Amino acid sequence: MYHKKLKPFPKDFLWGASTSAYQVEGASLIHGKGPSCQDVKEIPAGTSGLDVCADHYHRYKEDIALMAEMGFKVYRFSISWARLLPEGTGRVNQEGIDFYNNVIDECLKYDIIPLVTMFHFDMPAALDERGSWSNADSVDWFVEFATLMYKSYGDRVKYWLTINEQNMLTLVGPVIGTLFIPEGCTNEIREIYQQNHHMLVAQAKAMVLCHEMVEGGKIGPAPNISLVYPASCKPEDVIASQNANAIRSWLYLDMSVYGVYNNLVWAYLENNDATPTFSPGDDVALKNGKPDFIGFNYYNTSTVEDYSLDDTDEQSSKSDQQDQRGEKGFFKGFRNPNLGSTEFGWEIDPVGFRSTAREIYSRYRLPLIVTENGLGAYDTLTEDGKIHDTYRIEYLRKHLEQIQLAITDGVEMMGYCPWSAIDLISTHEGAVKRYGFIYVDREEFDVKNLDRYRKDSFFWYKDVIASNGEKL
């Protein structure tokens, strides 16, 4: 679809950026915080630990002031479950409560709307010891955590996100360091999707609770959504892309919005003897959860082809979230020859951003907010304190151009929160993979002075926000 004239970004468009607690805060085991799964996991070779990160815990005032300088309308951050509840349930850590009160108040001082992610890859280690999401009690654990957050912050926080990238937790949990498999498990797929089921029920109950406890509260999911293309017009490849889209994306949004399992995913689970067990009341709880909007993370699309049962080519189902992956009998990953890639090997597809937004809105007709989108790169600090990240500006500009086209297509876009506000620790590629508008002066194993520097993209994004997207 080609347009003669583009619609502007909405006047109340929420410009901002994102971080997550375990990747940015540091202070991982002090001031009463308990360990999370991220603190006790085996750190990927060649990457730093999470005890310091960007030290946002001690420098949040400086960081939020810089966000205000850019003109942020919203700041998306997550709350560490183990900082509020060191054992996951029961005892409350008041120092943790106070920290996020201070972060929220600092945002409001600059008229920045806090957008809080409730769970971002950091299950308390104490709950892992009790079975993590494998335990049906995890639903109640999450409800307890949600209740505490709403009571503590609901008077000021009106926008909430439930679970960050639940689909990635399910599909590539080992890469993220979050997957807990009980000893003696004989059907890993069934186990993983049972955990996923508990998360879905927990999310639905948290949405209901938000509407009950937070006056004017709005809440939505935040999965990683991107269209999956067929490798060709071969009918079997089209079927494969439908399979992959359902397993990767529609399962999570169908359940968030409608409270029912996607039929193609259910067929996949039946095929693997992996359909989840419903506890009494789960079906009602799932249908009662109603999101007000949909948050989604977008980095790139993927492409698949037919993968018949007699195909002798072996392709793993446990690869990185952005790598080619396959499920025999359902789809096989295919490298798209029409797309370039980042220096970390992730495909770049701005047009796919528009396609994905169009498809989500067409299916669910709820307002959309982009909760992550960004370019990880090796940034260089010059001797005069500059970071010339023209490549990041170009990446973000091309993606924002496609979002404006989606808006002109009739998609209701409410905001854009790229990853990330400041440099932080990448999930499995460490401190050297930088995403932020603000440079944090540290190396992988040398934290140096952690001074902040404004990148060229900082000034570009400031102009974008000030012009409400007219100046890209």
Asked whether residue 320 is assigned to any structural domain, the reply reads no
Give residue 299's domain range.
14-307+336-466
Q: For this structure, is 412 an active site residue?
A: no
Q: For this structure, is 372 an active site residue?
A: yes
Query: Cα separation of 202 and 97, whole Å?
Result: 22
- Please report, in tens digits, the pLDDT of each residue of the chain (472 residues total): 899 999 999 999 999 999 999 999 999 999 999 999 999 988 888 888 899 999 999 999 999 999 999 999 999 999 999 999 999 999 999 999 999 999 999 999 999 999 999 999 999 999 999 999 999 999 999 999 999 999 999 999 999 999 999 999 999 888 787 888 888 899 999 999 999 999 999 999 999 999 999 999 999 999 999 999 999 999 999 999 999 999 999 999 999 999 999 999 999 999 999 999 999 999 999 999 999 999 999 999 999 999 999 888 877 655 555 566 788 899 999 999 999 998 888 899 999 999 999 999 999 999 999 999 999 999 999 999 999 999 999 999 999 999 999 999 999 999 999 999 999 999 878 999 999 999 999 999 999 999 999 999 999 999 999 999 999 9
Asked whether residue 9 is assigned to any structural domain, the reply reads no
Asked whether residue 423 is assigned to any structural domain, the reply reads yes
Asked whether residue 8 is assigned to any structural domain, the reply reads no
Asked whether residue 106 is assigned to any structural domain, the reply reads yes
Query: Cα separation of 416 and 298, whole Å?
Result: 11
Asked whether residue 193 is assigned to any structural domain, the reply reads yes
Nearest to 9 by CA among 53, 73, 54: 73
Annotated catalytic residue, options 106, 191, 305, 372: 372
- Count of CB atoms within 10 A of residue 391's CB? 14
CB within 8 A of 140, min separation 6: which ones? none
- What is the model's pLDDT at position 343? 86
Asked whether residue 373 is assigned to any structural domain, the reply reads yes
Dihedral, CA of residue 425, residue 429, residue 435 and residue 436, to nearest 10: 20
Asked whether residue 394 is assigned to any structural domain, the reply reads yes
- What is the model's pLDDT at position 380? 96
Structural domain count of the chain? 1
Q: What is the CATH number of the domain that holds 82?
A: 3.20.20.80
Annotated catalytic residue, options 25, 106, 165, 347: 165
